[in-house]
Amino acid sequence: MTTTPAERIGGWLLGPLAWLLLTLLSTSLALMLYATALLTPQTVAALGAQTLKENVLWFVSFAFAIAIWYYTLWLVIAFFKRRRSVPKHYIIWSLICVLLSLKAFAFSPISDDLAVRQLLFPLLAAALMVPYFKRSQRVKKTFVNP
């Protein structure tokens, strides 16, 4: 019985890997900002002065940032290990990023130009990479490990 070894990560797969690594870096920085806010007495006092609803929304946002950080970290590790589940989870992760961008676009008090730019990159990445992960033979040959 002969088995063919998995292909190396290369070609168009370097784009999604770079996107994952950049997302991991940016969510790490966001978590550092949350942690700094929780450790600064002025911010803690400002949070205490907010209404319960605003505090709940702040902590829900913090929890989502932690969750997306863990999911991205797990996906990066699985990507390097060339796990069989990576294509499915990359598609899910990509759609979650689009949903989070839509949430920011709809509910953040930022300018429309900045919101559209923040929405454009996840939409473009999902539009290009989801079909690639679903149909590419290279993806099927690369991610073969259990």
**Tens digit of pLDDT at every position of the chain (146 positions):** 445 566 788 888 898 999 999 999 999 999 999 898 888 888 888 888 888 888 888 888 889 999 999 999 999 999 999 999 999 999 999 999 999 888 877 777 777 788 788 888 889 989 999 999 999 898 888 888 88
CA distances from 106 to 20, 44, 103, 139 (A): 24, 27, 5, 34
DSSP state of 50: S
pLDDT at residue 2, rounded to an integer: 44
Give me the percent of the chain exceeding a pLDDT of 90: 44
> pLDDT tens digits, residue range 67-98?
999 999 999 999 999 999 999 999 999 999 99
pLDDT at residue 1, rounded to an integer: 42
Residue burial 54-88, b: 16+ Cβ < 10 Å; e: rest:
eeeeeeeebeebeebbebbeebbebbeebbeebbe
Question: Which of 37, 22, 117, 119 lies closest to 76 in space, CA to CA?
Answer: 22
Q: How far apart are the first and last CA of the chain?
A: 18
Residue 138 burial (C-beta neighbours within 10 Å; 0-12, 13-18, 19+) = middle
